[in-house]
Amino acid sequence: MRAELARGDALAGNVQPVLRHLLSAHDAPLFSDEVLARVRGMFADLARNLLTAADEASPGAGVRDPGVTEHELLVRALMDRRELLLHVHALAIEWLLTDRLQARAALDPVVSPLVQSLVSGDDEAAQALAMTWLAAQARWSQAQRRMGLPFTELPGELLHGARLALRSVLAGSAQRANAAEAAIRARYDEGSGRLGLGARLIMGLGRDAGVALALDRAGLGLFLTALSLASGQPRDVLALSTHEPQIARFVLALRAAGLTAEDVSRQMLTLQPGIVLPGGLAQIGSDLAGAILATGRYGG
């Protein structure tokens, strides 16, 4: 298992630079056309939204269509932020799997059985939070269908990187850059985004949080969040580990989260029914799985 994890990590170290190259080219044989199109589309939308915020915030400037050159410069500057590129790639993979789960397993991309039970339950606080998460998940699903990415949905540290990229593009106009920074900060609340709400929802389950580690009950969005919290692995890394070269990391995370070998097989059958799981899984307990993951890495 350690060897498979090492091989997967070695490959992962090359993913981001290769992805940057493919996104700037027209031929993309190493990645699916749909994933690359989604990553390009989300970066284009994010750049457009940031530039629009800059124009709306600049006194007297009015709202204008961003110039092609400025927009392209910002797209490239955003793609050069490694962690942001990893995040957008992970979102593309998450949506692809979400769409496939709906088609193959009739798993609704927004209203999962777990969320339904919380919405119809007696706990008013949990009910309200579940309803708020439902609205956020619905907005994300709609945005993904049009390959959109609002900057308000970025994790805080990634939005900081996006602001730095915007400032580098607006270097010739300090007033516009400062106004844009202020406007973006005013509109941003990390806790009200889909990922922040999902984490609050899972943590609010307390001792019952393990129910979210059943993919067919929680839905992919909450399942990934629950697995990240339970295993200590970054959510984006887990999303990107659902494909075969990195599957050792994913199943180790499931074991580290406390799932039995049988439960791991069951979850993988729902997620990726054709995939071959690494051998010796039953011999690796939760503590050992966590220790193996702790000595590994993702990327370079």
Q: What is the pLDDT of residues 85-144, one digit of tens each?
A: 999 999 999 999 999 999 999 999 999 999 999 999 999 999 999 999 999 999 999 999
Backbone angles phi, psi at 18, to 5 degrees: -65, -40
- Mean pLDDT, residues 184-209: 95
Contacts of 221 (CB under 8 A, 6+ apart): 94, 98, 137, 140, 194, 198
Amino acid at 255: R
pLDDT exceeds 50 at position 202 = yes
How much is the pLDDT for 30?
36
- Mean pLDDT, residues 55-78: 75
- Mean pLDDT, residues 46-66: 76
Per the model's pLDDT, the better-predicted residue between 31 and 151 turns out to be 151
Q: Quick one: pLDDT band at residue 274, thresholds 50, 70, 90?
A: confident
Q: Quick one: pLDDT band at residue 20, thresholds 50, 70, 90?
A: low
Q: Is the pTM of this model over 0.75?
A: yes
Q: How far apart are CA 30 and CA 247, in angstroms?
A: 18
Q: Quick one: pLDDT band at residue 24, thresholds 50, 70, 90?
A: very low
How much is the pLDDT for 62?
43
How much is the pLDDT for 11?
45
Handedness of CA 148, 126, 190, 156 (dihedral sign): negative
How much is the pLDDT for 244?
75
Contacts of 260 (CB under 8 A, 6+ apart): none
How much is the pLDDT for 265?
94
Closest C-alpha to 149, from 46, 75, 276, 74: 46
Per the model's pLDDT, the better-predicted residue between 277 and 76 turns out to be 76
- Mean pLDDT, residues 254-275: 93
pLDDT exceeds 60 at position 12 = no
